[in-house]
Homo-oligomer: A and B are copies of this chain.
Amino acid sequence: MQSADAKFKRNSLFLTLRRYSSAVSEMEQTILLPSLLRDMPSDEVWDCEAAEETCKDLYGNYLMLKAIRTTVESGLIPLDDHKAKNNTALNKTLEPLLDTDPEVLFHFHVRGLFSVMSDLTKKTQTLTEKYMDIIGVAN
């Protein structure tokens, strides 16, 4: 099993997840006063209509990025009404595709995960930079 572990360590999906995890750690170490992010408008057009109000400011983004990191590291998806509801909508759209070749579905989800993790890593780095701007520290 050791050799399989070694293979997984070099796995680029594994590295993509770890890169995100590191970006969030760096964000946490930099943002010593997260409350400064409250009420700062977020440029990101995140569909937060069904979510808590906090999602609309940078502080909401900060909390969301931290929550995703916890899930990435544990690999456990929490059962949450809001997210479950949104997933149901997504799953409904995909329903006719569920009978598809499992190989295609596998590639689809791995590609999707790569894409969303890269996106989230960039968002984490951008948020860290914005905090530096707020406190007046040059990057």
Q: Give A residues with C-beta under 8 Å from B.
A: 1, 4-5, 7-18, 21-22, 45-48, 51, 55, 64, 67-68, 71, 73-77, 83, 86-87, 90-91, 93-94, 96-97, 99-114, 116-117, 119-120, 123
A101 proximity list for chain B (CB < 8 A): 46-48, 51, 55, 86
Inter-subunit contact B74/A12 (CB<8 Å) = yes
Q: Which residue of B lies closest to A84 (CB)?
A: B107
A123 & B105 in contact (Cβ 8 Å cutoff): no
Interface residue SS majority, chain A: helix
Residues of B with C-beta under 8 A to A108: 86-87, 90-91, 112
CB distance from A97 to the nearest CB of B (A): 6
CB distance from A102 to the nearest CB of B (A): 6
In the assembled complex, the Cα of A97 lies from the Cα of B13 at a distance in Å of 23
Note all chain B residues with C-beta closer than 8 A to A105.
90, 112, 116
> In the docked arrangement, what's the CA distance between A75 and B7, Å?
9
